Amino acid sequence: MNILVCISNVPDTTTKIRFKDNNTRFNDEGVQWIINPWDELALTRALELKEQTGKIDSITVLNVGEKVSDATLRKALAVGADKAIRIDAFPKDAFSVASEMAEYIKNESFDIILTGIESSDYNNSAVGSMLAELLGLPSVSSISSLNLEDDTVKLTREIEGGQETLTIPTPFVGIVQKGIAIEPRIPAMRGIMMARKKPLEVKNPVNTEPLVEYTSFELPPEKGECKIYDPENVEALIDDLDKEAKIL
Amino acid sequence: MNFEFTEEQKMIQQAARDFAQRELITDVIERDEKSEYPTSHVKKLAVLGFLGMLVSSDYDGGGMDTVSYVLAMEEISKVDSSVSVIMSVNNSLVCFGIEAYGTEEQKEKWLKPLASGEKIGAFLLSEPDAGSDASSQKTKAEDKGDYYLLNGTKNWITNGNTASTYIVIAQTHPEKKHKGINAFLVDRNSEGISVAPHENKMGMRSSDTHSVTFTDVKVPKENRLGEDGFGFKFAMKTLDGGRIGIASQALGIASGAFERSVQYAKERKAFGTEIANHQAIAFKLSDMKVKIENARNLCLKAAWLKDQGQPYAVASAMAKQYAADIAMDVTTEAVQIHGGYGYVKEYHVERLMREAKLTQIYEGTSEVQKMVISRDLLK
């Protein structure tokens, strides 16, 4: 069984967000890049399955991105992925990313294709579903657990008020969320050393045109002052909500 | 000249940062208070390969360069120097000494389990009456033909109780003074070894520091490191590398305190604005930043020289003396910036200040480093 984990290269979650070119582009100067946290959990689960079941032959990680993604892919190899593929294109929007990925995947043989439920930069939650549609594969979203039982894949997904458990034939696209794995791996020295020899292939893009054009970004308004009220004086709170905040 | 780290060096730095910020931070204050050895963290250090990261992969080490080691030591020391000193002693003093000067048999038997982290090592040089003056060894290793007989007491031994392997420095030929000293690989479970209770230290309280006494301990002849009489030179050469580890530790203590100070100064308000907006605080932060940058450059220069196979003894002495001294300055200012909060344990900086003090003392005091530097420049 072969697993593909789709990886987005995103700014560290503590990055101070700034824009450039008249607020039309993200300013990536000095940014520390990381694996999208949801994708990292997907990769962690794939590694656990490989170690625990003995049924996984290989784990490949796939990214659409420019050279800046290589460090992120190399980390994925250091924690245990067997092979990395980078499609050499700037990720313009979800559709272009999913299309580039689909072009690569359709000529390969993967049983389980995993994506994070969203990426922590644009938070579109779109690539996974688009990818399944472009590949003509079934997909399940919001997966919080994934297990291999005999010859079937058993999934749990979070639904309103509870959980849903289902089995699914392979191949499929699994869109995972928190809970799929607990703690992302820290690369060990041995893994870092072995990653030197693992393949990181760079492929040419098919240059799919994006469907979305970003015209302008703006930062959310700064948080206002925090006001603390005496619990014995609820009237003051109500009074301010009414007269000052005007929300009553 | 290139100041850019490689992709791999950055990955190691990030791995150490993740380990420290996710795991060590969770119980560092509690362990410090209770003087509790970080057992589970040391196991994880072994799994991640940090305990033998400098050793060649031929001997089950990580095969990483010294620049990566500086980066990893800094990140771990930002949070917990009790853990980073375990890593430093095992890497720089114990593994390095065996890899550089041991026989192939010694490397197979002793180095491999130390490099993989299966076992922990300790370096036994200091004595009750021989600290900075390391040539005045009173511990004796009498040559009895087939074996050496070890008698004496060693002080301030990091990993003293948890180590399985000791490297012991002892005098075999007193008449030859420092040229009669030898270094030995000693199994901690050998008959005649007694370990005194844990020292109740000011800082780095979670590391395992003991006195160790040897009473008629038989050490096989094949456990001697190097030629007869090589022990003092062995110790000095090994300490040159060890100083890069402790310099990086001091650097980490300083930068850990600095990062907390910047964050605090941006949040804490006084006189109607964040204290970072007061020039008295902003200038303190500026001074701290410059000192840390200088210390980092000295550490990396010493590491780079070692990686290039060039002499690094003076460079590592400069890095150790400067980084330790500025760690004391920076952590003291960090407590000052935090005010009353800096004086209580939950804000970490008082602990970092206590840890900084030790970096001016162990593996050669700041004064000993100045002796090394001045002797070199005046020769």
Q: Structurally, how many domains does chain B consist of?
A: 3
Same-domain check for residues B217 and B329:
no
The tokens of B330 are what? Answer: 């920076």
Q: Above 90 in pLDDT, residue A220?
A: no
Q: Beta-carbon neighbour count of residue B343 at 10 Å?
A: 13
Residue B5 Cα, gap to closest chain A Cα (Å): 12
Asked whether residue B1 is domain-assigned, the answer is no
B133 burial level (CB within 10 Å; 0-12, 13-18, 19+) = exposed
Query: How confident is the model at residue B210, as a pLDDT?
Result: 97
Q: Which of B79, B97, B115 is the last residue of a domain?
A: B115
Q: Which of residues 62-81 of B touch A (CB under 8 A)?
A: 62-64
Under 8 Å CB-to-CB from B309, ≥6 apart: which residues? Answer: none
Write the CATH number for B276: 1.20.140.10
Query: How confident is the model at residue B130, as a pLDDT?
Result: 83
Asked if A89 contacts A31 with a C-beta cutoff of 8 angstroms, the reply is no
Short-list B59, B60, B25, B17, CA closest to B41: B25
Under 8 Å CB-to-CB from B1, ≥6 apart: which residues? Answer: none
Q: Above 80 in pLDDT, residue B157?
A: yes
Contacts of B10 in chain A (CB under 8 A): 71
Handedness of CA B349, B350, B351, B354 (dihedral sign): positive
A203 strand-pairing partners = A87
Instruction: Determine whether the interchain pair A188/B22 forms a contact, defined as Cβ–Cβ distance below 8 Å.
Output: no
Share of chain B above pLDDT 90, in %: 96
Residue B239's Cβ-side half-sphere holds a number of Cα atoms within 13 Å equal to 24
Mean pLDDT of the region B252-272? 97
Query: How confident is the model at residue A150, as a pLDDT?
Result: 77
Instruction: Determine whether the interchain pair A186/B63 forms a contact, defined as Cβ–Cβ distance below 8 Å.
Output: no
Short-list B333, B330, B317, B321, CA closest to B361: B321
Listed by start position, the domains of chain A span 2-220
Same-domain check for residues B136 and B152:
yes
Q: Beta-carbon neighbour count of residue B122 at 10 Å?
A: 28
Question: Chain B contact for A223, CB < 8 A?
Answer: no
Same-domain check for residues B176 and B254:
no
Asked whether residue B2 is domain-assigned, the answer is no
Q: Above 90 in pLDDT, residue B241?
A: no
Share of chain A above pLDDT 90, in %: 75
Question: Chain A contact for B20, CB < 8 A?
Answer: no
Same-domain check for residues B369 and B262:
yes
Same-domain check for residues B261 and B368:
yes
Minimum CA–CA partner of B60 in chain A: A190
Query: How confident is the model at residue B226, as a pLDDT?
Result: 96
Nearest to A74 among B7, B15, B63 (CB): B7
Asked if A105 contacts A4 with a C-beta cutoff of 8 angstroms, the reply is yes
Question: What are the E-state strand segments in chain A?
Answer: 2-6, 9-11, 19-20, 25-26, 33-35, 58-65, 83-88, 112-116, 139-149, 152-159, 162-168, 172-176, 200-203
Q: Which of B232, B255, B280 is the last residue of a domain?
A: B232
Same-domain check for residues B100 and B130:
no
Active-site residue B363, yes or no?
Answer: yes
Measured between alpha carbons, how far is A63 from A214 in angstroms, rounded to an integer? 21
Under 8 Å CB-to-CB from A54, ≥6 apart: which residues? Answer: none
Short-list A100, A177, A51, A180, CA closest to A85: A100
Contacts of A192 in chain B (CB under 8 A): 8, 11-12, 15, 62, 64
Residue B23 Cα, gap to closest chain A Cα (Å): 11
Instruction: Determine whether the interchain pair A71/B63 forms a contact, defined as Cβ–Cβ distance below 8 Å.
Output: no
Measured between alpha carbons, how far is A181 from A52 in angstroms, rounded to an integer? 13
Same-domain check for residues B243 and B367:
yes
For B288, the domain range is: 239-378
pLDDT-wise least confident of A168-172, B132-136, B191-195: B132-136
Short-list B51, B6, B52, B15, CA closest to A75: B15
Q: Tell me the CATH class for A2-220.
A: alpha beta
Same-domain check for residues B252 and B372:
yes
Q: Which of B200, B232, B264 is the last residue of a domain?
A: B232
